[in-house]
Amino acid sequence: MLLELHRITLSNQHASMIKDLPTLYGTAGRDAVHDFFITMEYCTREWREEKKMDALRTKLKGKAMDALNMAINKFGQAAPYATVKAEILSVLRETDH
């Protein structure tokens, strides 16, 4: 019972944190992308990889979501967060005009 309550509490904390993260569309330039990942990593610093990936799937839209999908297609579903992040940054940097 106590373990289940702890899981529910953590789940609620994750949901609250994800809700508070900004959405990244990938169209606002390098500074916005950089700021997003600084905020993302601060808010999720103690999270497991899969929770960080869930947050990305929730908070990326448009070009940023396309970059995430490209990273997953390139490296696979089990790719580490850091690898996916690096690929997203690379793709969005290439499309930043």
Q: Is the overall model pTM greater than 0.85, yes or no? A: no
What DSSP state is assigned to residue 7? H
| Beta bridge pairs of residue 60 | 24
Other Cβ atoms less than 10 A from the Cβ of 56: the count is: 26
Residue 6: pLDDT above 50? no
Name 75's Cβ contacts closer than 8 Å, sequence gap at least 6. Answer: 83, 84, 87
Residue 97: pLDDT above 50? yes
pLDDT tens digits along 34-85: 999 999 999 899 999 999 999 999 999 999 999 999 999 999 999 999 999 9
As a whole number of angstroms, the distance between CA 67 and CA 22 comes to 17
